[in-house]
Amino acid sequence: MDDSTKDNSHTRRSRGKLLRVLGVGFGLAVIVGNTIGAGILRTPGDVAKQLPNVWLFLGVWVLGATYALLGANAVAELGTMLPRSGGQYVFARRALGDYAGFVVGWSDWLSTCGTTAAVSVVIGDYSGVLFPALAGRTVPIALAVTTIFALIQWRGIRWGGSTQNLTSLLKCLGFAALIFACFAFGGRASQTASAMQTPHGVAFLVALVLALQAVIYTYDGWAGVVYFSEEVKDPARDIPRALFGGVLLVMAIYLLVNIALLRLLPLATVAQSDLPAGAAAQAVFGAGGDRVLRALTIVSMLSGINAYHLMATRVLFAMSRDKLFSERAVRVNAGGTPTVALFISCAVSVLFIVLSGTFAKIIAALSFFFVANYTMTFASLFVLRRREPRAPRPFRAWGYPFTPALALAGSILFLVGAVAADLAGETRDSLYALALLVVSYPAFKFIKLVERAR
């Protein structure tokens, strides 16, 4: 039985179907919601520590955007060739087999649920600072935020999509207001002198790799639209537009934020700050700067939680449809929401919130997989071009095979650099990730054994 027959049989057993109602606007909103978060408020300090030169500092943000654009170019072909909801799991399973799909799907799903929990906890913390009556209620606030967004999505994809559009718009307006305030009301810092020296030789290459790693982490999320490929009205047109438009929009916001920081603060000050955006807000708004930044962070994170719920649900739904999880999770309500998958995803996020300290290492280890998953996605493009040369491809990656090869090479170098940095430092996240990979194989075989026994 081929994949399409299996998919049809699963659809008949479900209580509804995914609805093809989303457009380019939603694609842009989910990319913005999934990508822009607290990282852009903190990461400039880490980059400035490594590269204390204005042009190198800005250049590494452009380089990170270039990697994302190369990736979007490859993913646009895969997303239009395989317009099925589920994200990168769909590509890895089709090209590399069930086990590769299993690893990509489970690591993606668990890390997304964990991110939902982590972001919700930050919202709880910041709410307690903004509103003293809520102080000390971090966990209840985090649980409430996570549950409320899940209930909104329970109503259907139109509700979830509209919420994504609204919260992402508020996020963009918030950042636009901060950028405008920095230019309109802030002073002008001198960048002519720096107490820090730019590294040279091998030290420069190490610094560049570390800075680029931080930037790529901050750009992560640009592929958000492909989690909903079969719910997009015109995937052949809308997926590429959303991918390229989303990356360019995020790049513009990131560059403007960094330029605004440099207008207000010397680069040395940015490098010495754990939260450079906080220092900039204080320079513009005085004592109220902290409250302004915390409010912006909360607004920014709300769209992230909505996006994470949407994406985690689609990954679990897709894996269930392919018999890599319980068949019950393919059930879809009349509004187009995979309700069982949503319930399980929300429940795992709630568990992470309640046991947030206990699972910190697992989430850190799973974060290693995000570039590993991109690596398998880019490899999938080459595999499918070779194995299925005549498959319909409404969008073909520009500059193939050179541009996807650059994206693949960049991902491999990133992984090598992450492992090297872990071995040289105090963290062992990549080693924990490899341990999880080893454990995943018997789990995969067990699920397949259970499936065959049915």
pLDDT above 50: residue 113: yes
Residue 7: pLDDT band with limits 50, 70, 90: very low
Per-residue pLDDT, averaged over 79-102, amounts to: 96
Q: Is 87 left (phi over 0), alpha (psi -120 to 50) or beta?
A: left
The reported pLDDT for the residue numbered 12 is: 42
Spatial distance between the Cα atoms of 283 and 266, rounded to a whole number of angstroms: 12
pLDDT above 90: residue 447: no
pLDDT above 90: residue 440: no
Spatial distance between the Cα atoms of 208 and 376, rounded to a whole number of angstroms: 24
- Using alpha carbons, select from 284, 199, 217, 185 the residue that is nearest to residue 35: 217
Could you tell me the pTM of the whole model?
A: 0.91
- Using alpha carbons, select from 409, 349, 414 the residue that is nearest to residue 382: 409
The reported pLDDT for the residue numbered 362 is: 65
Residue 416: pLDDT band with limits 50, 70, 90: confident
DSSP H helices in 265-288: 267-272, 276-285
Residue-averaged pLDDT of the chain? 89
Q: What one-letter code names the amino acid at 211?
A: A
pLDDT one-digit tens code per residue, 344-391: 999 999 999 988 655 666 666 667 788 889 999 999 999 999 999 999
pLDDT above 50: residue 406: yes
Relative orientation angle of helices 289-321 and 3-13, to the nearest 10 degrees: 110
The residues near 84 (Cβ < 8 Å, ≥ 6 apart) are 7, 90, 229, 230, 318
Paired residues of 30 in beta bridges: none
DSSP H helices in 265-323: 267-272, 276-285, 289-321
The reported pLDDT for the residue numbered 4 is: 46
The reported pLDDT for the residue numbered 423 is: 72
The reported pLDDT for the residue numbered 194 is: 55
Q: Does residue 83 have a cis bond before it (omega within 30 degrees)?
A: no
The reported pLDDT for the residue numbered 382 is: 98
Choosing among 1.20.1740.10, 1.10.3720.10, 1.50.10.10, 1.10.10.60, the CATH entry for 13-453 is: 1.20.1740.10
pLDDT above 80: residue 117: yes
pLDDT one-digit tens code per residue, 136-187: 899 999 999 999 999 999 999 999 999 999 999 999 999 999 999 999 887 7
DSSP letter string, 336-380 = S--HHHHHHHHHHHHHHHHTTTTTHHHHHHHHTHHHHHHHHHHHH
The residues near 241 (Cβ < 8 Å, ≥ 6 apart) are 24, 27
The more confidently predicted of residues 35 and 448 is 35
The reported pLDDT for the residue numbered 425 is: 67
Residue 10: pLDDT band with limits 50, 70, 90: very low
Q: What one-letter code names the amino acid at 178?
A: L
How far, rounded to the nearest angstrom, does the alpha carbon of residue 248 sit from its chain's CA centroid?
Answer: 16
Q: What totals of helices (H) and strands (E) does the chain contain, helices first? A: 18, 0
Residue 204: pLDDT band with limits 50, 70, 90: confident
The reported pLDDT for the residue numbered 359 is: 61
pLDDT above 60: residue 251: yes
Which range has the top average pLDDT, 96-100, 412-416, 422-426?
A: 96-100
The reported pLDDT for the residue numbered 193 is: 54
Per-residue pLDDT, averaged over 33-60, amounts to: 92
pLDDT above 50: residue 1: no
Paired residues of 22 in beta bridges: 232
Per-residue pLDDT, averaged over 116-133, amounts to: 91
Sign of the dihedral through C-alpha 186, 187, 191, 193: negative
The reported pLDDT for the residue numbered 15 is: 55
Per-residue pLDDT, averaged over 13-42, amounts to: 88
Per-residue pLDDT, averaged over 231-236, amounts to: 97
pLDDT above 90: residue 13: no
The reported pLDDT for the residue numbered 288 is: 87
Residue 6: pLDDT band with limits 50, 70, 90: very low
The reported pLDDT for the residue numbered 153 is: 96
pLDDT above 60: residue 245: yes
pLDDT above 60: residue 9: no
